[in-house]
């Protein structure tokens, strides 16, 4: 159990990660003195940290600890051989992982809603936090992105509820287990289970084992698992859960939907409980996956008896930065930014834009950057994921300095499989993609940029070029 005196100096190693930057904000608001270090700094978290007045030391050098903090939070980007990590052990400064710190200093004994799954976590967590806020519960939350209704990715709890995005990625080099195992989950939304995070999971069976661990720790007496019935992999691990289980799905489950209308401003559909219509819901988003995201939140609020004017909460939901975010419309060409990187998410995102009313041509620009996407595990799947776009521009895989370059995604083969230069192109420098779009895009077209990183500043460059 972590115990700190008020005003203690807490240092965060790897502070610019989405969860780490959010934790920094939570701790600073509680009166702790916060410092941090990182080497990959880009918006929106760098902007959030600057607004919080938290300076970031560049790199992981031993001298970052010269001020000798009282406690150190070690992010999962830190390796044991980093100079700063070595100095931490030599100085015998108390330290812990991010999820351990959250559990002991923030969540404590509150009712914790954990949103887990391979896809949809950030948007669903943001919706749930907003629904709880709209219901007057004054929840705390930590989201792996910035929800526009709150303008930041975190909020300290004033009431008895905490909402958190339950990441299956490992916690730290000294805690090689999923983050969500530390969050004391009482109510869990499980959206999907697929193979991902190829750098830490060997295969799908290992991923299933990780999620089974989450199901095992939901309390039997007052716990609740709300799971997607239409995900086949979830059914393989349900027997591990001893708590109450409730299902949802677009077409099947205890909670389901019907009569979908894909409008220009969002999605509208009926909510059903065990086949009986409850009410009609409007969500100002598009993409069929957001139907199930919204349904899961609606169902959780009702199952927990917190359904205070939930429809109006959805009507006023503003979305999440970097999730289908319209960042500009120069010369009548819409430019969207999205975090999609797993092939399932890329395909769903591309399809959602192609289904919009009045859709012109779709230029899909993709950076294979995550540890899974930049490798050739899903070589064929990315062809299928991108094929519906009118024009595909895919960068060469992102390679971290000193990282293994074997088994990388063969981008040029994807281009060939998509039909060659008339349909797709690969590029090394983002300026190549910007130039092509500048030459070919016309008013009414859409540019969809997908990456889970900074993508070498392509967003601003694209807006400038098309302006």
Question: H or E segment at 19?
Answer: helix 18-29
Range in 144-148, 343-347, 431-435 with the lowest mean pLDDT: 144-148
- Residue 404 has a pLDDT of 66
pLDDT at 361 over 80: yes
Overall average pLDDT of the 69-93 stretch:
96
> Does the pLDDT at position 401 exceed 70?
no
- Average pLDDT of the chain to the nearest whole number: 91
Q: For residues 155 and 140, is the Cβ–Cβ distance under 8 A?
A: yes
Least reliable range by pLDDT among 102-106, 178-182, 337-341, 389-393: 337-341
What does the pLDDT read at residue 359?
A: 75
Confidence (pLDDT) at 134: 92
pTM of the model: 0.79
Range list of H helices, 30-109: 45-51, 83-91, 98-102
Q: What are the E-state strand segments in 106-251? A: 111-116, 140-147, 152-155, 161-166, 170-172, 175-178, 187-190, 224-228, 244-248
pLDDT, tens only, 232-243: 999 999 999 999
Provide mean pLDDT across the span 55-68.
94
In this prediction, residue 40 carries a pLDDT of 72
Is residue 400's pLDDT more than 80? no
Residue 326 pLDDT exceeds 70: yes
């Amino acid at each position: 159990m972590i115990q700190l005196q008020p005003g203690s100096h807490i240092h965060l190693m790897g502070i610019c990660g989405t969860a780490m930057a959010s934790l920094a904000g939570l701790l600073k608001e509680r009166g702790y003195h916060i410092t941090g270090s990182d080497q990959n700094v880009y918006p929106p978290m760098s902007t959030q940290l600057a607004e919080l007045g938290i300076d970031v030391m560049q790199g992981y050098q031993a001298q970052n600890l010269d001020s000798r903090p009282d406690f150190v939070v070690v992010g999962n980007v830190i390796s044991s051989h980093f100079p700063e990590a070595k100095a931490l052990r030599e100085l015998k400064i108390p330290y812990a992982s991010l999820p351990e710190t959250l559990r002991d200093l923030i969540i404590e004994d509150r009712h914790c809603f954990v949103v887990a799954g391979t896809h949809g976590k950030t948007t669903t967590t943001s919706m749930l936090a907003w629904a709880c806020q709209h219901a007057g519960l004054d929840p705390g939350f930590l989201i792996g992105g910035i929800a526009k209704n709150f303008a930041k990715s975190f909020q300290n709890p004033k009431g008895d509820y905490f909402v958190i995005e339950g990441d299956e990625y490992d916690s730290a080099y000294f805690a090689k287990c999923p983050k969500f195992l530390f969050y004391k989950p009482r109510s869990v939304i499980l959206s999907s289970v697929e193979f991902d995070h190829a750098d830490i999971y060997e295969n799908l069976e290992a991923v299933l084992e990780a999620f089974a661990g989450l199901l095992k720790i939901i309390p039997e007496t007052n716990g609740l698992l709300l799971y997607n019935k239409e995900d086949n992999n979830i059914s393989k691990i349900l027997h591990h859960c001893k708590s109450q289980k409730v299902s949802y799905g677009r077409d099947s489950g205890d909670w389901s939907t019907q009569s979908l209308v894909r409008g220009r401003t969002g999605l509208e559909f009926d909510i059903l409980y065990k086949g009986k219509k409850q009410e009609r819901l409007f969500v100002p988003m598009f993409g069929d996956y957001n139907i199930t995201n919204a349904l899961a939140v609606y169902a959780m609020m009702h199952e927990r008896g917190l359904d205070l004017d939930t429809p109006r909460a959805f009507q006023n939901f503003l979305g999440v930065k970097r999730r289908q975010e319209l960042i500009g419309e120069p010369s009548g060409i819409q430019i969207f930014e999205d975090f999609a990187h797993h092939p399932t998410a890329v395909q769903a995102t591309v399809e959602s834009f192609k289904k919009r009313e009045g859709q012109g041509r779709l230029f899909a620009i993709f950076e294979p950057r995550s540890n899974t996407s930049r490798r050739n595990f899903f070589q064929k799947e990315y062809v299928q994921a991108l094929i519906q776009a009118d024009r595909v521009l895919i960068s060469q895989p992102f390679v971290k300095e000193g990282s293994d370059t074997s088994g990388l995604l063969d981008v040029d083969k994807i281009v060939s499989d998509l039909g060659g230069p008339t349909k797709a192109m690969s590029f090394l420098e983002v300026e190549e993609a910007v130039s092509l779009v500048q030459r070919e895009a016309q008013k009414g077209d859409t540019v969809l940029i997908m990456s889970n990183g900074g993508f070498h500043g392509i967003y601003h460059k694209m807006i400038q070029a098309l302006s």
